[in-house]
Amino acid sequence: MTALEKIIDDFSFLDEWEDRYRYVIELGKALPDLPEDKRTLENKVQGCASQVWLVTHVSGDPDNPILTFEGDSDAHIVRGLVAIVLATYSGKPAFEIATLDAIDIFGKIGLVEHLSSQRANGLRSMVKRIREEASIRAAA
């Protein structure tokens, strides 16, 4: 079971929004801290009310690179959202990432409708940035 499959499975057992909220925060707490030297303006995601950083790592075949991501936020709930986004995209080929919309997954687990508009916009900004980077790598 992948990390994302486990997250989706865990959410299926949580009926109350408060329980889901706590689980998102737990996911954020389990996310490794991003080293200070990676908390740069270049790695900062624009469009997020909280501070969010994403770092992309490229490996494998240049024609079909695998992308892995590190990320962090200064807000507990957003850090949990970052953890779900990383579980969705990290370790996949660039062409697959470019066509995969994490917003659909957030809808499937019942999170999108519970996010404030600022958090939802921030989530869309994270997803947009990852998918744009993947599109560039897939086309290279």
Q: Which helix (H) or strand (E) holds 28?
A: helix 17-30
Asked if 27 and 107 touch (Cβ cutoff 8 Å), the reply is no
Nearest to 125 by CA among 114, 113, 117, 135: 117
Q: Give me the active site residues, please.
A: 48
Asked if 52 and 82 touch (Cβ cutoff 8 Å), the reply is yes
